[in-house]
């Protein structure tokens, strides 16, 4: 699958009977300008749009990212229960994630062996593989050193974690 430009996306959407509305285009642009390794929840996406003066309702954002994930434009990631994150779906940059359960810092890693294993499993069952995501639920050394889980102060902020809305 190709890396989507606005024009390519417009084409793709039209072929499948969807329009590239200005809101969809803006949402796509946010993802295209995110630094690699940054993943946004719907709430964070609204914050980014807000900062650029774009008022888009949360329900529109939820619908749009869902649609884009179904079309293979975005990749939907479930790092924690009930809390989805999204990133651009770039198969050439296929990767997995380590997530700190305490501070939510997320580290990406690539691994060919995992990708091959997943392809072989899907193929053996005559399934078409859409995505293969390995999420490692971890706790960072910073939290452990501060006494995670029981002794960690309630207001502890990981010095290494990205600010959630940065």
100 binds Zn ion (CB under 5 A): yes
Residues 136 and 156: beta-carbon distance below 8 Å: no
Scan for tokens 């971890």, then name that residue. 138
Shortest reach from residue 139's CB to Zn ion, in Å: 6
CB-based contact 132:114 (threshold 8 Å): yes
Closest approach of Zn ion to the CB of residue 102, in Å:
4
Instruction: Supply the minimum distance, in Å, between the C-beta of residue 21 and Zn ion.
Output: 26
Q: Is 103 in the site for Zn ion (CB under 5 A)?
A: yes
Q: Which of 13, 61, 99, 143 binds Zn ion (CB under 5 A)?
A: 143
Closest approach of Zn ion to the CB of residue 85, in Å:
8
Separation of alpha carbons 57 and 43, rounded Å = 10
Distance of CA 34 to the CA centre of its chain: 11
CB of 24 within 8 A of CB of 61? no
Task: Tell me how many residues contact Zn ion (CB under 5 A).
Answer: 8
- 89 lies in the site for Zn ion, by CB under 5 A: no
Residue closer to Zn ion by CB (options 52, 93) is 93
- Per rule CB under 5 A, is residue 140 in the interface with Zn ion? yes
Q: Which of 108, 118, 122, 134 is in the footprint of Zn ion by CB under 5 A?
A: 108
- Measured from the Cβ of residue 160, the count of other Cβ atoms closer than 10 Å reads 13
Is 26 exposed, middle or buried, given 0-12, 13-18 or 19+ CB atoms closer than 10 A? middle
Smallest separation, CB 97 to Zn ion (Å): 6
Q: Which residues bind Zn ion (CB under 5 A)?
A: 87, 100, 102-103, 108, 140, 143, 158
């Amino acid at each position: 699958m190709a890396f989507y430009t606005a024009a390519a996306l417009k084409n793709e959407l039209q072929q499948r009977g969807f329009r590239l509305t200005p809101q969809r285009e803006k949402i796509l642009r946010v993802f295209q300008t995110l630094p690699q390794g940054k993943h946004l929840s719907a709430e964070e996406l609204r914050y980014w749009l807000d900062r650029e003066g774009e008022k888009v309702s949360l329900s529109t954002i939820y619908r749009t990212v869902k649609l884009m994930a179904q079309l293979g434009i975005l990749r939907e990631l479930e790092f924690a229960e009930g809390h989805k994150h999204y990133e651009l779906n770039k198969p050439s940059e296929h990767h997995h994630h380590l997530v700190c359960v305490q501070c939510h810092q997320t580290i990406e890693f690539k691994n060919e062996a995992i990708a091959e294993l997943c392809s072989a499993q899907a193929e053996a069952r005559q399934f078409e593989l859409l995505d293969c995501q390995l999420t490692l639920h971890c706790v960072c050394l910073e939290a452990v050193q501060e006494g995670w889980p029981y002794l960690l102060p309630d207001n502890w902020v990981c010095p290494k974690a990205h600010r959630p809305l940065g």
